[in-house]
Amino acid sequence: MLKLHTRLHALTPSLSSSLRLGPTTDSASPILRAALSSLGSLTRRSRSSDLVGHRAFFCSDSDSSGDGSDRVVHVDSKAVESEGEEAESKSSSAIVPTNPRPEDYLTVLALPLPHRPLFPGFYMPIYVKDPKLLAALQESRKRQAPYAGAFLVKDEPGTDPSSVSGSESEKNIYDFKGKELLNRLHEVGTLAQISSIQGDQVVLIGHRRLQITEMVSEEPLTVKVDHLKDKPYNKDDDVIKATSFEVISTLRDVLKTSSLWRDHVQTYTQHIGDFNFPRLADFGAAISGANKLQCQQVLEELDVYKRLKLTLELVKKEMEISKIQESIAKAIEEKISGEQRRYLLNEQLKAIKKELGLETDDKTALSAKFRERLEPNRDHIPPHVLQVIEEELTKLQLLEASSSEFNVTRNYLDWLTALPWGNYSDENFDVLHAQQILDEDHYGLADVKERILEFIAVGKLRGTSQGKIICLSGPPGVGKTSIGRSIARALNRKFFRFSVGGLSDVAEIKGHRRTYIGAMPGKMVQCLKNVGTANPLVLIDEVDKLGRGHAGDPASAMLELLDPEQNANFLDHYLDVPIDLSKVLFVCTANVVENIPSPLLDRMEVIAIAGYITDEKMHIARDYLEKSTREACGIKPEEVEVTDAALLGLIESYCREAGVRNLQKHIEKIYRKIALQLVRQGASNEPAIVEAQVVEPEETLVGCVDESSQKLVESETRAEPVEDSSHEQTTETSVEADAVPIDLPTDQPSDSKDVTDTKTIQESEPTKTVEKVVVDTSNLADFVGKPVFHAERIYDRTPVGVVMGLAWTAMGGSTLYIETTQIEQGEGKGALNLTGQLGDVMKESAQIAHIVARSILLEKEPDNPYFANSKLHLHVPAGATPKDGPSAGCTMITSLLSLSMKKPVKKDLAMTGEVTLTGKILPIGGVKEKTIAARRSEVKTIIFPLANKRDFDELATNVKEGLDVHFVDDYRQIFDIAFDDDQKTGK
């Protein structure tokens, strides 16, 4: 800052002395004067900063003629009232003659200059810290000898001048005295006039160059000097003129970009009367931003041409610095003003739109949008909800748009106004229409369809429908989710599904508090916003797989959602206002009902979907799965045939599970392989035709087409009689083939008419020659691999100690053999070993069966001590499968008695039922699944507990058809049914 301050002061008084051409000088050529006049004209555009608060000084050059022109002109700027002639007249009245002249001073005080040298014609303020030196300067000025020598201080050896601050440099100067200070000064300096002294500030005006010869006194430092003059030069030298013109041209460019210098030059051009080549060189060096050593080099140079060259280098560098400064300023200005400009334009745009009524501010627009949403349903919105909305709208107007609370309120209002308050879809209570839709989408499932039709019938009689909670339970793949979609379509309700499998966060059901970041409502509020009606059908999938974690128990949170007595005022944590969910029809799905928490299960009406028997699977595969898969694969019905035997083999040997999802996968697998086979057959005929079309000559191409058409006609003639339409099509194809021009070029584009005709023939031929694919039991393994399941009947004739039981699994029903054999016999060695990965309940059933079998054997054969003296082993095959449940008691007793009496059970017999210690048979579950498993294993006779007779009677006719079923309530009844007295071992 100090260096810049010094430069600015150095610019002010003497730049004018370097740019104003006096009419009396002859030292510069007319061309130079004209150029300098044009330079000076740049500064006359503005006169607002002339000499206000400054003193301007002019000192004639030492090289001027000694005709009395060596004088100092003092102009007091405070006396200047106006511009032009009035200012000049006032300044001329302030002329003070000086005597003696400057060149008479050969002994002067040595003033150290820390920053820059003083050039002749320029002024410089310096601060003198040495009291003795300051007193000597004041004394000299009083004796009317106001001159001193100004010499630049040298840098310390090995020191970078740019790394030392100005204050440190000044402090170092005044530490030196006498010869030390003399050694630190440059020999060449400037004779400076002491213009004014105010405190410790001394204003110096440079006059001419000096050179130190010897020291006179040490304190203050006084030296003898020689006055230096420029070396003689030729004023008409073209090189000097060109160099000076280039300096002037560069200065003009610099002055165009720098308004700071332009203001100071403006001051100097009014008070300068002399200008020549040496002065031009000094002027350029003085105003440049070069360092002090480069400026000292210009000051010491007495050769005018060399001085001009040095100055030209400095002003050129100054020009480059000025360009860099301009680019930096422009870049920063663009960066800073870009956002301001955009902001101002946006504000102006808002103001314009507001005046024209095109757009209001953000808050007003938001409020208008929310109120517009409310208008259609305002009459149906509960009063307490309307009150909350109005309060939030008022709060929104008072908040700042940049605050976080504003966004929370806006989102809250967005959810409140987006809900379908009182907006219900028109329900369709047509029972026949619903029956038609349910039959279209699903085969069988009579009990499920009957329950849905009952619900619709009740709604029709009442005129309105209340939401109910239906739980569809059954193994995977039986169509539970698709049933929910069909119910929604039959009722003309919107459908929304969300799965709660593995859900462990209560907030997914009840929503988050609005105070949390990223808070959202629960699933039900999201459902109502998505469907746009207040009476949708909501399918809650996998309700038996609800999780429980650190965020609460979702099963407990769903109690309020599914309870018909509570969900009329369901409270979501985010909305914090009651919502009426009583009109929502909830349908839940589960694989295992036992996994559903009891309080939640209590609110549901369970409809069990046991699965499909073989006949139902055949209908589903033929009417639904095969049709949709064929269309998805792009295969025509006439191109493939899957026989009933193949479907039956697929169902019995590959897809025995209760659902049809695996069956659909296998049918898709078959049709994918058929699609590949059809494409390969069609592709086998293409290469020859393509080759004939592209490579063969024209005549060969026509011959090939005719020959292929002829073969096509012959093949159709040898085949079965065809309809007239196909015959006509063949004739047209032959005509088109004959019409192919002979001059067809081989490189003709593929979109030409002739090639298109040829492609028509090419596409029609494979279509007619592809053979129909037939899938039968003989080639079924080629499409789906080796059979996965074999016959569940291991024995054609049941051996002694082996009985078939019926079991229920999550995948449906299955048969289960129970085998018993004797390990060891001896007095008092009665025992029972169990294997087959049995659960605790099944192990207890085996112990009970052992006791009951002993008591019954004692009743039937009192003299038979078999169980008391035999060590037995009871095994349930498929040991890798965990087994548990109480309904194997009857089967185990029968197996033990068969072994003890050496009697096999009747052929094609299966049984199930839990037995108590007294022999009573308790009811079991999964009647339909076990019946289906019995039919799949070709069982003819089934023994069920008497308590399950009603369950069996409710089964569809096609499920229980052809079965001989016995219902018993005591095991002794089974004893009479199970054993055939005619069957003995070995018969």
Q: Which of 887, 895, 900, 937 is catalytic?
A: 887
pLDDT for the residue 849: 94
Residues making up the annotated binding site for ATP are 474-481
Report whether pLDDT(62) > 80. Answer: no
pLDDT at residue 702, as a whole number: 34
Contacts of 263 (CB under 8 A, 6+ apart): 43, 46, 49
Asked about 887 being catalytic, the answer comes back as yes
652-688: per-residue pLDDT in tens?
888 888 889 999 999 999 999 999 988 988 776 555 4
pLDDT tens digits along 206-253: 888 888 888 887 778 888 888 888 788 887 788 887 888 888 877 777
The two tokens of residue 133 are: 């030196």
φ/ψ of 861, rounded to 5, equals: -135, 85
Contacts of 762 (CB under 8 A, 6+ apart): 685, 686, 689, 690, 693
Assess whether pLDDT exceeds 90 at residue 98: no
Mean pLDDT value of segment 593-615: 86
**Helix/strand/coil for 802:** strand
Mean pLDDT, the chain, integer: 76
More reliable by pLDDT, 630 or 144: 630
The length of the chain is 987
How far, in Å, are 176, 690, 707, 727, 734 from residue 755 at the CA level?
Answer: 107, 10, 17, 23, 15
Predicted confidence at residue 44, as pLDDT, reads 47
Best CA proximity match to 191, nearest among 167, 223, 162: 223
Q: Work out the pLDDT band at 347, boundaries 50, 70, 90.
A: confident
CB 538 within 8 A of CB 496: yes
pLDDT given at position 471: 92
For the record, the structure tokens of 550 come out as 């650190």
Q: Is the pLDDT of residue 692 over 70?
A: no
Q: What's CA 112's distance to the chain center, in Å? A: 69
- Which residue has better confidence, 390 or 73? 390
Confidence of residue 89 (pLDDT cuts 50, 70, 90): very low
What are the distances in angstroms from CA 567 to CA 580, 715, 841? 6, 73, 40
Confidence band for 530, pLDDT divided at 50, 70 and 90: very high
Residue 36 has a pLDDT of 53
Q: Inter-axis angle of helices 753-769 and 661-683, to 10 degrees?
A: 130
In the set 241, 523, 617, 930, the catalytic residue is 930
For strand 188-198 and strand 147-152, is the pairing parallel, antiparallel, or unpaired?
A: antiparallel
Calculate the CA dihedral of residues 875, 879, 884, 888 and round it to 10 degrees.
Answer: -30
Cβ distance 149 to 190 under 8 Å?
yes
DSSP annotation of 198 reads E
CA distance 68 to 64: 10
pLDDT in tens, 919-967: 999 999 888 888 888 887 888 899 999 998 988 888 878 788 888 999 9
Task: Label residue 435 by pLDDT band (50, 70, 90).
Answer: very high
pLDDT score recorded for residue 669? 93
- Predicted local distance difference test score (pLDDT) of residue 526: 93
CA distance 793 to 942: 15
Residue 303 has which token pair? 């050769």
Q: What three-state secondary structure class fits 786?
A: coil
Tell me the mean pLDDT in the region 124-152: 81
Q: What are phi and psi of 241, to 5 degrees?
A: -60, -45
Q: Which residue has the higher pLDDT, 644 or 549?
A: 644
